[in-house]
Homo-oligomer: A and B are copies of this chain.
Amino acid sequence: MRVLGVDPGLTRCGVGVVEGTAGRPLKMIGVGVVRTAADADIAERLLLIERGLEEWLDEHRPDVVAIERVFSQHNVATVMGTAQASAVAMLCAARRGLPVALHTPSEVKAAVTGSGRADKAQVGAMVARLLRLAAPPKPADAADALALAICHIWRAPAQDRLRQAAALQTRLQKGSVR
């Protein structure tokens, strides 16, 4: 499974591509940041993010796109931009028929460090270790994007089982399965 992780943001949108399956060593395919100027028009910034993400999708052809789930309880000034950047990422994936998975920051931290309250340095260190990199990727947004991809690879089997269980339950309730 090849996953494009996206840490959405207007100024720095982290992107990272990881290949692997749960229980096997992971491989980093690429990592980077799509940047837009803070003084640019918001519409223009969203367009630049779209173009940047399209390039990553074209080049790396992921099977799924994992995006950080945005919460509104964070800093009110930045959360709107984060929500808008994440909308662009979801749209780019959906347009290609790629599945979109959302993971919360604490799910991502817990997946790669064992603690949902790990700090940036800890996440960066574990990303470097898991992907066998010489140093944590910089900036933190790039490391976070890789962490999202790793989190998805590890959580996907459990999420699939949950989805299958939920689908079975629905069918049982409707009486289509006995």
Question: Shortest Cβ distance from A24 into chain B, in angstroms?
Answer: 28
| Alpha-carbon distance between A76 and B80 when the two chains are bound, in angstroms | 11
| Chain A, range 50-82, C-beta contacts under 8 Å to B | 50, 70, 72-73, 76-77, 79-80
| Alpha-carbon distance between A84 and B88 when the two chains are bound, in angstroms | 8
A131 located at the interface, meaning its Cβ lies under 8 Å from any Cβ of chain B in the complex: no
**Chain B CB within 10 A, most for which of A44, A46, A95:** A46
| Alpha-carbon distance between A43 and B44 when the two chains are bound, in angstroms | 21
Q: Which residues of B contact A83 (CB under 8 A)?
A: 80, 83-84, 87
Q: Is the CB of A91 within 8 A of B88?
A: yes
Q: Is the CB of A43 within 8 A of B88?
A: no
| Chain A, range 6-41, C-beta contacts under 8 Å to B | 41
Interface size on A, residues (CB 8 A): 27
User: Which residue on chain B has the smallest CB distance to residue A67?
Assistant: B43
Q: Is the CB of B80 within 8 A of A44?
A: no
Q: Which residues of B contact A79 (CB under 8 A)?
A: 72, 80
Question: Shortest Cβ distance from A72 into chain B, in angstroms?
Answer: 4
Q: Is the CB of B72 within 8 A of A80?
A: yes
Q: Is the CB of B42 within 8 A of A90?
A: yes
Q: A46-B90, A72-B79 are in contact. List 7 more A-B contacts (CB 8 A).
A: A42-B102, A47-B91, A50-B91, A50-B95, A73-B76, A83-B84, A83-B87
